[in-house]
Amino acid sequence: MNPSKRREEAEEAIDTINKRTGRNMPQAIGTGAVLVLVILLCLAASIDVFVGLIVIFVVLALWELRVDFATVGIRIPVLALWVGSVAILGTTYFVPTHAVAMCVSTLLTLVYVGLAASTRLTMVGRRVSMAVASKLSRADAHMRHESSFNDGDVSRPVTRFTNVMVSLLVVLYVPFLAGFIVMPLTWEHPVAHAFLLVFVPAMGDIGGLAFGAWLGKHKLSPRISPKKSVEGLLGSILFCFVGALVIFLLTYDRSIWVSHWWVPPVFGVLVGVVGTFGDLCASMLKRDLGIKDMGHLLKGHGGVLDRADSILMAAPFIFLVIAATGL
């Protein structure tokens, strides 16, 4: 066969896959491979370095949210959110009474961010304005029209109360949930916990994407996320189970996984369902704002929060299972 003909067929096949998955798959695979490598290198260095990586991801996710909300006129105090996030994650990891430190630092951050959101600290800078303009230039006109912040062709005004409430929601959605990733890293078997907290939800994303593109026929929530399907949810549960099982076999002693053989199936169902719910929450937020992607920093993945939404939402549930089983 002519090489140019083969190249055209390969490009057509990739285009078909991209349309079914709703993303640039070669970019997504490449970015995913780099992320896995970075995570493994950080874990190989030390748990402290891995916690630092979590802080970096949270900071980047908050920046992307700053731009996303600014597209509809909502202003969140990103500097205050950065300071509060570092405080929440740092105290959760370093203070011996980890749970108490996390709760106290979260409450203080809520007060601090709430006050900052109600003042001029939420003014939009030039860099944010440029990022907003770039995002709006790539936005889908229909999605913008369907945004909850539009009334016909007129944007609804945003009040200071809205800025405060959204800022408080961001604290609970990003750094507070990330605290449930950090806390198990202070217990015994931190590397195993890191794998469970990060890679099991990621496996669920892969399973949902693969089964949804391959077998997806029954829509899970067509209004919120047309690409999500029941078949994708089942694939997510299956991949979460397999991922948890492999992590158990490779990271825990034989005596532990023999006595806790029932935990991987629990992780499969729990993380598969909760991770899909996290994806739907992020999709609902994007639809409400009238944007397609949360950001652009991770090529093929839509943004940092698009990559981490299922991880964040699943973190408290994985934390509870680890704590309840004594793993």
Per-residue three-class SS string for the chain:
CCHHHHHHHHHHHHHHHHHHHCCCHHHHHHHHHHHHHHHHHHHHHCHHHHHHHHHHHHHHHHHHHHHHHHCCCCCCCHHHHHHHHHHHHHHHHHCCCHHHHHHHHHHHHHHHHHHHHCCHHHCCCHHHHHHHHHHHHHCCHHHHHHCCCEECCEECCCCHHHHHHHHHHHHHHHHHHHHHHHHHHHCCCHHHHHHHHHHHHHHHHHHHHHHHHHHCCCEEECCCEEEEEHHHHHHHHHHHHHHHHHHHHHHCCHHHHHHCCCHHHHHHHHHHHHHHHHHHHHHHHHHHHCCCCCCCCCCCCCCHHHHHHHHHHHHHHHHHHHHHHCC
Q: What is the pLDDT of residues 253-270, one digit of tens each?
A: 888 877 888 888 999 899
pLDDT at residue 125 in the model: 57
CB burial readout 165-176, b (16+ within 10 A) else e: ebbbebbebbbb
d(CA 21, CA 235): 14
Phi, psi of 151 (to 5 degrees): -115, 90
Residue 150 lies in a domain: yes
pLDDT at residue 23 in the model: 58
d(CA 108, CA 301): 33
Residue 94 lies in a domain: yes
Report yes or no: 167 and 81 within 8 Å, Cβ to Cβ: yes
User: Is residue 122 scored above 70 in pLDDT?
Assistant: no
71-80, 190-199, 269-278 — which one is most confidently predicted on average?
190-199
Parent domain of 80: 24-325
User: Is residue 166 scored above 80 in pLDDT?
Assistant: yes
User: Against a cut of 0.95, is the pTM above it?
Assistant: no
User: Is residue 315 scored above 90 in pLDDT?
Assistant: yes
Of 163-177, 189-203, 213-227, where does mean pLDDT reach its minimum? 213-227
Total domains in the chain come to 1
Residue 6 lies in a domain: no
- Percent of the chain's residues with pLDDT above 70: 75
Residue 290 lies in a domain: yes
User: Is residue 141 scored above 60 in pLDDT?
Assistant: no
User: Is residue 164 scored above 80 in pLDDT?
Assistant: yes
Across-strand partners of 155?
150
| Number of residues in the chain | 327
Q: CB under 8 Å to 212, separation ≥6 — which residues? A: 21, 227, 228, 229, 231, 232, 235
pLDDT at residue 110 in the model: 96
Q: What is the pLDDT of residues 49-95, one digit of tens each?
A: 999 999 999 999 998 888 888 888 888 999 999 999 999 999 999 99
pLDDT at residue 165 in the model: 92
Q: What is the pLDDT of residues 99-116, one digit of tens each?
A: 999 999 999 999 999 999
Residue 125 lies in a domain: yes
Residue 14 lies in a domain: no
Residue 13 lies in a domain: no
Residue 4 lies in a domain: no
Report yes or no: 235 and 206 within 8 Å, Cβ to Cβ: no
